[in-house]
Amino acid sequence: FALLLDFKATFFLGRYNDDFDDGEDLAEFDDNDFAEFEDVNEDPTVEVESEPPPKPAPSSIPVEDDEDEATVEIEDGQDEFEDADAQVSDMYSKYDKDEFEGYEKTNSPFKDTLIYQDVPAHLQNSWESYYMEILMVTGLLAYIMNYIIGKNKNSRLAQAWFNSHRELLESNFALVGDDGTSKEATSTGKLNQENEHIYNLWCSGRVCCEGMLIQLKFLKRQDLLNVLARMMRPTCDQVQIKVTLNDEDMDTFVFAVGSRKAMSRLQKEMQDLSEFCGDKPKSGAKYSLPDSLSILSEMAEVSDGVMDSKMVHYITNHADKIESIHFSDQFSGPKVMQEEGQPLKLPETKKTLLFTFNVPGMGNTSPKDMDSLVPLMNMVIYSIDKVKKLRLNREGKLKADRNRARVEENFLKQTHAQRQEAAQTRREEKKRAEKERIMNEEDPERQRRLEEAAQRREQKKLEKKQMKMKQIKVKAM
């Protein structure tokens, strides 16, 4: 029976072979009863060999072997052979037994090399084959984790900033925090969340200014792609403050100070800086500013006026946090790129003070770092009051007015051709509209009258033009 147990381990052989092995062993004991199986024995072994390996899973075969073994032990010998006979006749009825006469077969056909067929991946019940999918899902989970962590960090930073600045703001502004939707102008006392990385705060109700919009522009910590990109190129969180002023709060000047890179960038980008501060950014050595900063100014008097000792003190102490400071009475935002022509009107300007500060930490900020920005807010408040008091002297005012007139003239010249065209098209449109009206007029009499009126008007215009030409000619002479 030990041999029988060994046979269980084979994959390819059907149970029929094992039965006949049983028969073989038993035949040794009793020739008469089992002699008939000796011949038949060879055929099934051959036929089983020539069959292709069975499709069903290998695990099913040992189970069947067990069952067969059990029946062999329990049942009577004769019953077993009857079963075997029936099985043989059932399975191998299609095979001609005579065909394989004399075919020598080795006792252990299952010692030949086994050809393992590859089971297709989707039929394998193993998770390992799905490793790409598992990778993908893991990546997604990592992204979601980073989103939650980044969002919370940004939120904590914003809250920390607000907590450290709240007192200062509330003592200076009547309205701290407004989202513009509520009916009454009451302080909401909290930041507006525009995004997962941008927070707004609107403050209003103070002397010397209309209002102040503070934007906390944090890094996109909630986006994993951005986090990875920042590992290559570190950037920092920024606080942008925009103070809008009433007309009487500020005299006419344009001025900017900040890091060299920022100044050269702003000079190219900003409409007012490019028009009024034509010279390259100058160093602030005259006011003993650090070398990293440079100044753009409309005229020297403005620089002298703005850079008083207190301002210089503020800027020198926090030079690393200052990206740019921009005071302008002609602020209209960055230059608008026009496709073909230029805008027909001068862009609207507003008296504005702009401050851009870098949060220390270069991306690895903690809520504690927000306290270091409070002195900068003090500087902002000080600037608001200062700008109100800063007035140009007579010369400076003349220069400033001339500058503005010059800019306007240039603009008008550049757009002259366009405005002419626009005026022409408008005139043509009017004529066409009139003609249409005349045509649509049903009454023939009225038609005639309108036509005559139009003709008379044209005549008058021609006469006027001729008069003008004559006048010019006379003047020229």
Binding residues (CB under 8 A) for another protein: these are 120-122, 129-133, 136, 139-140, 143-144, 147, 168, 171-175, 178-180, 185, 193-196, 202, 204-208, 210-211, 213, 220, 222-225, 333-334, 337, 378, 381-382, 385-386
Least distance to another protein from the beta carbon of 367, Å?
Answer: 22
What does the alpha-carbon distance between residue 5 and residue 1 come to, in Å, rounded to a whole number? 6
- Kindly state the smallest distance separating residue 187's Cβ from another protein, in Å: 10
Least distance from another protein to the Cβ atom of residue 47, Å: 36
Q: Which is nearer to another protein, 211 or 290 (CB)?
A: 211
Q: What is the 3-state secondary structure (H, E, C) of the chain?
A: CHHHHHHCCCCCCCHHHHHHHHHHHHHHHCHHHHHHHHHHHHHHHHHHHHCCCCCCCCCHHHHHHHHHHHHHHHCCHHHHHHHHHHHHHHHHCCCCHHHHCCCCCCCCHHHCCCCCCCCCHHHCCCHHHHHHHHHHHHHHHHHHHHHHHHHHHHHHHHHHHHHHHHHHHHHHCCEECCCCCCCCCCCCCCCEECCCCEEEEEEEEECCEEEEEEEEECCCCCCHHHHHHHHHCCCCCEEEEEEECCHHHCCCCEEEEEEHHHHHHHHHHEHHHHHHCCCCCEECHHHCCCCCEEEEECCHHHHHHHCCHHHHHHHHHCCCCEEEEEEEEEECCECCCCCCCCCCCCCCCEEEEEEEEECCCCCCCCHHHHHHHHHHHHHHHHHHHHHHHCCCCHHHHHHHHHHHHHHHHHHHHHHHHHHHHHHHHHHHHHHHHHHHHHHHCCCHHHHHHHHHHHHHHHHHHHHHHHHHHHHHHHHHC
Instruction: Report, in Å, the least distance between residue 363 CB and another protein.
Output: 17
Looking at the Cβ atoms of 321 and 386, the one nearer to another protein is 386
Q: What is the closest distance, in whole angstroms, from the C-beta atom of residue 271 to another protein in the complex?
A: 12
Nearer to another protein, 296 or 380 (CB): 380
Q: How far, in Å, CA of 373 to CA of 162, rounded?
A: 11
Q: Which residue has the tokens 């608008």?
A: 336
Considering beta carbons, is residue 197 or 404 the nearer one to another protein?
197
Residue 325 Cβ, how far from another protein at the closest point, in Å? 17
Whose Cβ is closer to another protein: residue 132's or residue 477's?
A: 132
Nearest CB to another protein, comparing residues 71 and 138: 138
The Cα–Cα gap between 316 and 219 comes to 26
Whichever of 121 and 422 has its CB closer to another protein, that residue is 121
Q: How far apart are CA 235 and CA 362, in angstroms?
A: 6
The least CB distance from residue 176 to another protein, in Å, is: 10
User: Is the Cβ of residue 92 or residue 130 nearer to another protein in the bound state?
Assistant: 130
CB of 196 to another protein, least distance (A): 7
Q: Which is nearer to another protein, 225 or 467 (CB)?
A: 225
Closest listed residue to residue 268, CA positions, set 259, 282, 278: 278
* Token output for 389: 């008091």
> Can you say how many angstroms the Cα of residue 429 is from the centroid of all Cα atoms in its chain?
46
CB neighbours of residue 233 within 10 Å = 6
Nearer to another protein, 289 or 377 (CB): 377
Cβ closest to another protein, residue 160 vs residue 224: 224
Smallest gap, in angstroms, from Cβ of residue 246 to another protein? 9
Minimal distance in Å, beta carbon 265 to another protein?
A: 14
Least distance to another protein, CB of residue 284, Å: 23
